[in-house]
Chains A and B, each alone.
Chain A
Amino acid sequence: GAGVSQSPRYKVAKRGQDVALRCDPISGHVSLFWYQQALGQGPEFLTYFQNEAQLDKSGLPSDRFFAERPEGSVSTLKIQRTQQEDSAVYLCASSHLSVPSQETQYFGPGTRLLVL
């Protein structure tokens, strides 16, 4: 079926505003990841879900960042009280198996967030 989709593709927020970024993984994929990619850098891990369980959130930069995947499919990354340093591309990836080291991670197109 279709690949990983993300929305919105672009988001401009005023400093202090809350934002919500959505990820639709490939249907049936068990594992879902969020990564943050600063300009000119490689993606950096934020958090990992296996179905609806958030197994690792060690990459979330502060308690203003929150992610959920309540029904084990669509995921939302929420950033509260956005700061300028939050400006980046937020990438979502999914993989079929529950052990992603044995399976490819497929990336969505990303949401480009600009905080003014």
Chain B
Amino acid sequence: GENVEQHPSTLSVQEGDSAVIKCTYSDSASNYFPWYKQELGKGPQLIIDIRSNVGEKKDQRIAVTLNKTAKHFSLHITETQPEDSAVYFCAAIWPFGNEKLTFGTGTRLTIIP
């Protein structure tokens, strides 16, 4: 199976600064790594994902990097805005046996105006 660890659990950054959230996974066979944003009272919303054959992916202010050797991946948010405040979850899929997402424990990101 798969185990995902996520750090930090809370993160506060000044508006306009960058935020970085890091995750590690246990099984080298894992091949898909999405990041979800969850606002209060809502379901997780996919913000970016990366597959194991890619090292980096960007979408405007959001980027994800993957280091397969070290088995870790990171979310980078630049030019943070108040609406970026939410809980962010990383996840991984281990492709053998079932197709479930294994989630990290979440990072509560607060953007200080």
Contact = CB atoms under 8 A, between A and B. Distances in A.
B32 to A, nearest CB: 5
Contact of B105 (A33, A41, A91, A106): A41
Interface string A94-110: 00000111101111111
B45 interface: yes
Interface residues of B, number: 26
A45 B101 contact: yes
B43 A33 contact: no
B91 to A, nearest CB: 8
Interface in A5-64: 31, 33, 35, 40-45, 48, 55-56, 58-59
B103 A104 contact: no
Most buried by A among B46, B97, B99: B99
Given A101-B31, A102-B32, A104-B34, A43 B98 contact: no
Contact of B43 (A99, A102, A110): A110
A77 interface: no
A4 interface: yes
A105 B98 contact: no
Contacts of B58: none
Contacts of A44: 103
A109 B42 contact: yes
B46 A101 contact: no
B44 interface: yes
Given A93-B101, A101-B93, 11 more contacts: A33-B101, A42-B89, A42-B106, A43-B89, A45-B98, A45-B102, A56-B97, A91-B43, A104-B46, A108-B43, A110-B43
Interface of B: 6, 31-32, 34, 36, 41-46, 49, 89, 91, 93, 95, 97-106
CB-based closest 9 A-B pairs: A42-B103, A107-B43, A45-B100, A56-B98, A100-B99, A101-B93, A109-B43, A101-B95, A107-B44
9 contacts: A41-B106, A42-B103, A42-B105, A43-B101, A44-B103, A56-B97, A56-B98, A58-B98, A107-B45
